[in-house]
Amino acid sequence: MVIGQQYLMLSENNILQNKSFSIHFFKNGFSFCTDDNVDYFSYPTDTTEFENLIKNFLKNNPKNFEYFSTIFFQQPSTLVPTIFFDKNRLDDYLSFYFKKHETEIIIYDELKKEYNTNVYSIPKKLYNVIEKLDVDFNVFHYTSILIKKILNLCSTEKFSKQLFVHLHFDAMDIFLVENNKLIFYNSFVVKNENEFMYYLFFVVEQFDLDSNNFEIQFLGRIDAFESYYDIVKNYHYYITFSNDNMLTKIDFSKHHAPYLSSCFN
C-alpha cells in the first residue's frame, strides 16, 4: 500500500485507463471513477458500510482492475521546497494555513521533478479503511496532479507568464507560472462570479501582472462555468482553454471537480 511519503510518479497520460479505478474524496461525499463511468456517494455513517461499499463495487465490476488510487480534495495543501522539507515538521507546515483537526492525519506527495513536497491532511477513518483493504491504493492530493498537468501545459512561446485557473464546486485554484516554473499557488472558496473575479485579480495585482504580458488559461472548459469565462473576457484579452475550447458537460452531483473526473494519478 502506498500512503504518504511516496514518490509521486505521475504518468504523462493522466486519463483513466481501461483497468484503473480511482476514488475521489470530497467534503460531503466521494466518487468512484473508472474509464467509462463516475458514480457519487454520500459518506455512510459507519466505516464498515463504507468499506463494504468499496469491496462490493470491486467484486461486482466486470473489469479486472490493475491500478488503484485515491485522490483527496477535502482539505487544501501546502507546497514546501524539497530542499527545506523535514518530515518531522508536518504539523508546522499546515499550521501556517489552517488548524488540522484531531481526527485527521498528515501525509505528503513528493514532487521530485518539481523539487517540491505537497503536504496535506486526510481523515484518519478513511485512511484506516483504505489500509484495511486488500488493495494497493496509491494516494494523492488533487493539487499534485494539477501541478504536473500545468507544468506539461505551460509554454514560453507567447508569454513568459501564465495564470492557470482550475474551477470546481464552490472553489478555485490559481497557479502562476513564469518561464515554465511554478512561482505561486493558492486555493480560494468562491460561490459566484464576483468572488471569482475578486480573487483572480487580487493575484494579478499582487504580482503586478501587465495585461499585455500574461495569459489566463482555464483548465478545461466546463459548461457550469461559462458565465465565469464570459466575465473575464471583459477585462482580459489573452484567454485560452487547456482542452482547445471543447465544452465539457458534467453533473456536479456525480463529481465536484469535472476537469479531474477522468484522472487517476
Q: Is the pLDDT of residue 10 over 70?
A: no
pTM listed for this prediction: 0.89
Contacts of 150 (CB under 8 A, 6+ apart): 164, 175, 177, 182, 219
Contacts of 232 (CB under 8 A, 6+ apart): 197, 200, 216, 239
**Listed ranges 24-33, 192-201, 243-252; the one with the highest mean pLDDT:** 192-201
Domains, the chain, ranges and CATH?
Answer: 6-78+82-147 (3.30.420), 153-248 (3.30.420.260)
Long-range Cβ contact pairs of 205-212 (< 8 A, separation 24 or more): 207/176, 209/161, 209/163, 211/236, 211/237
* Mean pLDDT of the region 106-130: 93
* Mean pLDDT of the region 29-37: 89
* Mean pLDDT of the region 79-105: 89
Contact (CB, 8 A) for 65 and 19: yes
Rounded to whole angstroms, the Cα distance separating 19 from 115 reads: 30
Residue of higher predicted confidence among 83 and 265: 83
Q: Is the pLDDT of residue 230 over 50?
A: yes
CA distances from 244 to 43, 168, 219, 241, 247 (A): 35, 19, 10, 6, 9
Share the mean pLDDT of the chain: 87
Residue with cell 507568464: 161
Confidence (pLDDT) at 248:
66
Confidence (pLDDT) at 215:
96
Confidence (pLDDT) at 244:
56
> What percent of the chain lies above the pLDDT cut of 90?
62
Rounded to whole angstroms, the Cα distance separating 255 from 9 reads: 24
Q: How many CB atoms lie within 10 A of CB 121?
A: 24
In 3D, which of 19, 12, 29 has the Cα closest to residue 257?
A: 29
CA distances from 8 to 13, 111, 171 (A): 14, 6, 24
Rounded to whole angstroms, the Cα distance separating 184 from 175 reads: 6
Q: For residue 234, what pLDDT band results from cuts at 50, 70 and 90? A: very high
H/E element holding 49?
Answer: helix 47-60
**Listed ranges 37-46, 198-207, 217-226, 239-248; the one with the highest mean pLDDT:** 198-207
Contacts of 64 (CB under 8 A, 6+ apart): 19
Confidence (pLDDT) at 65:
87
* Mean pLDDT of the region 71-89: 94
Confidence (pLDDT) at 11:
41
Residue of higher predicted confidence among 26 and 101: 26
Confidence (pLDDT) at 99:
76
Rounded to whole angstroms, the Cα distance separating 217 from 164 reads: 5
pLDDT digits (tens, 9 = 90+) for 183-224: 999 999 999 999 999 999 999 999 999 999 999 999 999 888
Q: Is the pLDDT of residue 62 over 90?
A: no
* Mean pLDDT of the region 51-67: 88
In 3D, which of 227, 231, 147 has the Cα closest to residue 187?
A: 147
Q: Is the pLDDT of residue 117 over 90?
A: yes
Between 15-24, 92-101, 171-180, the lowest mean confidence (pLDDT) is in: 15-24
Q: Print burial letters for 222-259: b (CB count within 10 Å at least 16), e (below 16).
A: beebeebbeebeeebeeeebbeeeeebebeeeebbbbb
